[in-house]
Amino acid sequence: MLNGKTFVLLAWLAVPGAGATRGQEPAIAAQIPAPDDSAQPARSQTTPLRPEHRFWDKKNAWLFAGVGASRALDYSSTLNLRRRGNREILVTNDLVDNHAAFAVVEAAGTAVSMGASYLFHRSGHHKLERWTSMVHIGLATSGAVRNYGLKTVHPTTAP
């Protein structure tokens, strides 16, 4: 379930207007601030043009929790799918079968999503910031539902 979502996230990062933050993508994970980043430099001194919210406000906290939860659901549903004999088509079977590595991939997906939200927040795109999480949750959850919904493949071994 990785490639499609990663593509969508990259497409979001390429949204016109988010260009000011382009070129920083490789360091996204490192830019996620500590939960108490309330003291943004220079922000509090200038008169805010629009109501600015803290990055770690309640809404984002819930959205990120949702992204993490949907990723966990994707993780477990994909493993469930593998146990039933279907092939995970978007991630190689080798990666999925290496559970630790696959868990890291899912966690990295969450981190990249939060990083994208943070970049949107910093560049003033607060709607896109929220939508990044919401779209991510939708994609991961629908992927998990699809995983659970696929018919179990029974090996056709003759008795």
Would you tell me which residues interact with Zn ion (CB under 5 A)?
121, 126, 129
Tell me the closest approach of the beta carbon of residue 127 to Zn ion, in angstroms.
9
Helices vs strands, H then E, count in the chain: 6, 0
Closest CB to Zn ion among residues 52, 97: 52
Tell me the closest approach of the beta carbon of residue 121 to Zn ion, in angstroms.
3
Closest CB to Zn ion among residues 37, 97: 37
Tell me the closest approach of the beta carbon of residue 118 to Zn ion, in angstroms.
9
Closest CB to Zn ion among residues 74, 129: 129
Using alpha carbons only, how large is the chain's radius of gyration in Å? 19
Rounded distance, CA 70 to CA 144, Å?
A: 8
Rounded distance, CA 99 to CA 80, Å?
A: 12
Closest CB to Zn ion among residues 103, 124: 124
3-state helix, strand, coil in the chain (%, to 5): 65, 0, 35
Tell me the closest approach of the beta carbon of residue 60 to Zn ion, in angstroms.
7
